[in-house]
């Protein structure tokens, strides 16, 4: 099974590699497509548009800022697709501008009128009725005016610092001498962007329920309309909104840091003052003010992005909070697996896992068994220790509460809190300190590596020995996102996996140079080598004229070496199905290169997040699940884990039910074309429509109904 010499893998021709930044923008295009899809409930479409806005903010804060740094440092290295940093920035600007135009056009021309029809009215200040204006102006004077700070620009007032993601007003005023001046007013982010005007008593729907009417006006327009109160004695000539995005990809000099936590805190403070990477302005802003922003923010003209109103679409998430369940997806109640039903005692949790490995597929399966295992471990007098990795845990975490309870009850608790989880650093610092104060052994991560694996281990004394109960997953220990992220987890007390988990935690918390794991694939130790060997094995089967098939479900396929290997597999006759939700830098369907490769992306109600790697292996199928995407950072620079699916029932379920449904989806799936664009699939002929996420919800609901019926019959029989 040893792979051939790496020299046999021919380096990629740049024309066979899609630029990763442009591929990421195409993912944003697919998110935007969901906002335009009338099959989605109205407020869900607004939510997709907000997610698009948030994603684009992060794209500029991280990806564009990195390219700008390369230009500043005069880096001449080409990307794998043969582009210089400047060429990439030019291509990004063109595509991003197209997407911004599509997004605002969608909002203004489609979503706003439909919201209006459903009683959610987004009004412009100029179109308010006299009574509405009076009500809004009173609110301005009483609540908004006191917290605004107009900042002048002149010899005595230098250009003010403008923080990241801030919405601002450029105000042109004329003094009594007739001289025009410039001032900046920050739109406060402590107030709702859409200011409530009123909420009516509503009208009665056909079903007898009352639909309340909600009226909103844009906060920046309210401030602009009342700007003369901010500059008494002056004439306000014009007010123009603009929005600033700064470099937020913090760099941490870990090797030089005496205290990683303090180093990250300092870096977080610097994030607010990073260099400007984008200034969004409305097309009504005159060139003179744009030039003033260019000069004072020290940016290139290419950093100015002219967009239609409104700027900053991420703020639309406010609308999703409106209690209009008729305009959202129907609530979904996750399934509770049979193994965790009617557990009456702590011992039952461990007995259930001892009986068999238990597979969970979130959000279709409940996340509560994960919390249940940790809570049971905290209270069980036979449990000696709990070890766990935490990457993104969110607020009010029941997982952390269980760990705190465990240490209060005298258990040994060791937790690796990854402080370098981007945009979760502050939250993770808070959790790390709380855990430390309670007596938990907290490790911040490894120098030079980000710990991304998801694993928890409970060490329990049983008889004269100990048994290790392990939970492995593709997703974070976050009870909130588990309801909207698609992920897979496994409970097991397999001895080899338990021993591997012990070795892994020793690697994470101490000094360990272990190179051999029994069953787990661990990056950066053996995961890349083993994954490549498994692909090579499939190639060897194909070369012998045997059936060969790979299914790779991942968030992103970017790694040039893996892509080159998949091209080699296709040329050998291996059937390759790639389910890549986000970036994919491989070009499928090229004659003589990738004819047998198909790439599908699914964007829907739930965020596709699990990583599943399937190998036909001459009929002796193998499957691995875990946290690792097919990217250089995951394979080389992160601690990642893939775990085997060894139970035949689990493997059959994931292969024949789950993956097969993904491969046959014809409602949410997009098929990637050789040029990197995606074609939305539709049922053909008499082909039945299939939405994989809807199908999985219905499948789990049917299973829950059958279990409930069995329980009723059993209860009736014993009564």
Mean pLDDT for the chain overall:
89
Q: Write the class of the CATH domain 41-327.
A: alpha beta
Lowest mean pLDDT among 187-191, 400-404, 437-441: 437-441
Give the Cα separation of 294 and 251 in Å (integer): 25
**pLDDT confidence of residue 426:** 72
Evaluate whether 23 touches 559 at the Cβ level (below 8 Å).
Answer: no
pLDDT in tens, 253-286: 444 444 555 555 555 555 556 789 999 999 999 9
What is the per-residue pLDDT for 391?
Answer: 86
Token pair 């829950």 in the structure block, residue:
704
pLDDT at 484 over 80: yes
- CATH number for the domain whose boundaries are 6-13+522-706: 3.30.870.10
Tell me, what's the pLDDT at 159? 80
Q: pLDDT at position 515, please?
A: 79
Write the pLDDT tens digit of every residue in 626-635: 999 999 999 9
Across 670-708, b (16+ Cβ under 10 Å) vs e yields bbbebebebeebeeeeeeeebbbbbbbbebbeeebeeee
- Rounded mean pLDDT of 612-635? 97
Domain positions in the chain are 6-13+522-706, 41-327, 338-519
Rounded CA separation 100/205 (Å): 36
Do residues 553 and 361 make contact, with C-beta atoms less than 8 angstroms apart? no
**Mean pLDDT score, 598-606:** 97
For residue 567, the model assigns a pLDDT of 97
The pLDDT-based confidence of 708 (bands split at 50, 70, 90) is: low
41-327 and 338-519 share one fold: no
Superfamily (CATH H level) for 338-519: Endonuclease Chain A (3.30.870.10)
Tabulate helix, strand, coil % of the chain (nearest 5): 40, 25, 35
Read off the pLDDT band of 346 (50, 70, 90).
low
pTM, whole model, 2 decimals?
0.92
SS (H, E, C) 41-77: CHHHHHHHHHHHHHHHHHHHHHHHHHHHHHHHCCCCC
The interaxial angle of helices 425-438 and 398-408, nearest 10 deg, is: 20
pLDDT in tens, 495-530: 999 999 999 999 888 766 777 899 999 999 999 999
Q: What is the pLDDT of residue 302?
A: 94
Q: What is the arithmetic mean of pLDDT over 196-200?
A: 78
- Residue with the bigger pLDDT between 176 and 5: it is 176
Predicted confidence at residue 258, as pLDDT, reads: 47
Q: Helix or strand or coil: residue 235?
A: strand
Mean pLDDT of 168-190: 91
pLDDT band at 163 (very low <50, low <70, confident <90, very high): confident
CA distances from 153 to 237, 239, 245, 529 (A): 16, 15, 21, 59
> Which residues contact residue 495 at a Cβ distance below 8 angstroms, ignoring those fewer than 6 apart?
468
* Preceding amide of 363 cis, omega within 30: yes
Q: Taking residues 195-203, what's their average pLDDT?
A: 73
CB burial of residue 310 (10 Å; 0-12, 13-18, 19+): buried
Share of the chain above pLDDT 70, in %: 88
Confidence of residue 16 (pLDDT cuts 50, 70, 90): very high
- pLDDT top residue among 666 and 265: 666
Q: What CA–CA distances, in Å, run from 206 to 114, 211, 482?
A: 19, 10, 35
- What percent of the chain has pLDDT above 90? 75
How sure is the predictor about 6, in pLDDT bands with cuts at 50, 70 and 90? very low
DSSP code, position 654: I
User: What sign results for the dihedral spanned by CA atoms 435, 441, 445, 447?
Assistant: positive
Is 452 a residue of the active site? yes
Q: Per the residue annotation, which of 335, 361, 452, 541 is the catalytic one?
A: 452
Mean of pLDDT values over 400-422? 89
More confidently predicted of 297 and 704: 297
> Dihedral sign, CA of 420, 424, 430, 431?
negative
Whether 11 has a pLDDT exceeding 90, the answer reads: no
pLDDT in tens, 491-501: 999 999 999 99
The predicted pLDDT at position 512 comes to 67
Question: CA angle 219-224-229, nearest 5°?
Answer: 115
Q: 3-state SS string over 633-647?
A: HHHHCEEEEEEECCC
Lowest mean pLDDT segment, chosen from 170-174, 446-450, 711-715: 711-715
Q: Is the pLDDT of residue 252 over 50?
A: no
Q: Looking at 253-257, 470-474, 604-608, which range is the least confident one? A: 253-257
Summarised one tens digit per residue, pLDDT across range 82-116 is: 999 999 999 999 999 999 999 999 999 999 999 99
Q: What is the Rg, in whole angstroms, of the alpha carbon atoms belonging to the chain?
A: 28
What local confidence, expressed as pLDDT, does residue 76 receive?
82
Of 52-61, 453-462, 695-704, which gets the smallest average pLDDT? Answer: 695-704
- Res. 433: pLDDT tops 90: no
Q: What is the mean pLDDT of residues 673-683?
A: 95
């Amino acid at each position: 099974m040893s792979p051939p010499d790496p020299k046999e893998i021919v380096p990629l021709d740049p024309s066979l590699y899609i630029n990763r930044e442009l591929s990421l923008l195409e993912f944003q295009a697919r998110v935007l497509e969901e906002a335009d899809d009338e099959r989605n409930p109205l407020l869900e479409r607004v939510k997709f548009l907000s997610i698009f806005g948030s994603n684009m903010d992060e794209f500029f804060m991280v990806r564009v800022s990195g390219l700008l740094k390369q230009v500043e440092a005069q880096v001449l290295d080409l990307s794998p697709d043969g582009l210089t940093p400047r060429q990439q920035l030019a291509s990004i600007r063109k595509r991003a501008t197209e997407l911004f135009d599509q997004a605002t056009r969608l909002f203004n021309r489609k979503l706003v009128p439909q919201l209006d029809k459903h009683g959610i009215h987004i009004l412009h200040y100029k179109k308010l009725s006299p009574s509405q204006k009076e009500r809004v102006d009173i609110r301005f004077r009483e609540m908004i005016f006191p917290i605004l700070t107009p900042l002048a620009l002149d010899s005595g007032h230098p250009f003010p610092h403008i923080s990241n993601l801030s919405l601002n007003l450029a105000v042109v005023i004329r003094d009594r001498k007739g001289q025009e001046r410039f001032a900046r007013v920050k739109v406060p982010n402590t107030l709702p962007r859409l200011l409530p005007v009123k909420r009516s008593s509503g009208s009665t729907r056909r079903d007898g329920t009352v639909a309340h009417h909600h009226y909103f006006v844009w906060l920046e327009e309210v401030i602009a309309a009342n700007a003369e109160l901010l500059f008494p004695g002056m004439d306000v000539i014009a007010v123009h909104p603009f929005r600033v995005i700064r470099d937020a990809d913090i760099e941490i000099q870990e090797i030089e840091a005496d205290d990683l936590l303090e180093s990250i805190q300092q870096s977080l403070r610097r994030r607010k003052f990073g260099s400007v990477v984008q200034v969004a302005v409305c097309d009504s802003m005159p060139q003179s003010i744009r030039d003033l922003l260019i000069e004072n923010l020290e940016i290139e003209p290419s950093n100015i992005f002219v967009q239609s109103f409104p700027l900053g679409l991420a703020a639309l998430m406010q609308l999703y909070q409106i209690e209009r369940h008729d305009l959202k997806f129907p609530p979904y109640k996750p399934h509770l697996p049979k193994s965790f039903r009617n557990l009456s005692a702590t011992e039952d949790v461990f007995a259930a896992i001892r009986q068999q490995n238990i597979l969970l597929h979130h959000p279709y399966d409940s996340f509560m068994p994960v919390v249940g295992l940790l809570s049971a471990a905290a209270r069980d007098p036979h449990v000696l220790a709990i070890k766990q990795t935490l990457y993104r845990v969110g607020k009010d975490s029941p997982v952390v509460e269980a760990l705190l309870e465990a240490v209060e009850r005298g258990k040994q608790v060791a937790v690796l809190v990854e402080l370098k989880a981007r945009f979760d650093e502050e939250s993770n610092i808070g959790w790390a300190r709380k855990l430390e104060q309670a007596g938990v052994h907290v490790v911040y991560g490894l120098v030079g590596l980000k710990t991304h694996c998801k694993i928890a281990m409970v060490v329990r004394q049983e008889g004269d020995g100990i048994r290790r109960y392990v939970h492995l997953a593709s997703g974070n220990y976050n009870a909130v996102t588990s309801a909207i992220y698609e992920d897979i987890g496994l409970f097991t007390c397999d001895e080899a996996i338990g021993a591997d988990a012990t070795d892994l935690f020793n690697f994470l918390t101490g000094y360990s140079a272990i190179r051999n794991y029994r069953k787990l694939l661990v990056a950066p130790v053996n995961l890349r080598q083993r994954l490549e060997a498994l692909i090579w094995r499939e190639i060897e089967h194909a070369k012998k004229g045997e059936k060969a098939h790979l299914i790779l479900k991942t968030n992103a396929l970017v790694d040039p070496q893996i892509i080159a290997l998949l091209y080699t597999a296709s040329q050998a006759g291996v059937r390759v199905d790639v389910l890549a939700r986000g970036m994919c830098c491989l070009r499928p369907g090229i004659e003589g290169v990738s004819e047998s490769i198909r790439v599908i992306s699914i964007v829907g109600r739930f965020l596709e997040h699990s990583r599943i790697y399937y190998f036909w292996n001459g009929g002796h199928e193998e499957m691995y699940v875990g946290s690792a995407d097919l990217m250089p950072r995951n394979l080389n620079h992160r601690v990642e884990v893939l775990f085997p699916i060894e139970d035949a029932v689990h493997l059959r379920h994931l292969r024949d039910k789950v993956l097969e449904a993904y491969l046959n989806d014809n409602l949410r799936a997009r098929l990637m074309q050789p040029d990197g664009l995606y074609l939305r699939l539709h049922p053909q002929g008499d082909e039945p429509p299939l939405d994989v996420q809807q199908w999985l919800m219905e499948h789990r609901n049917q299973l829950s109904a059958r279990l409930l019926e069995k329980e009723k019959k059993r209860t009736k029989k014993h009564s």
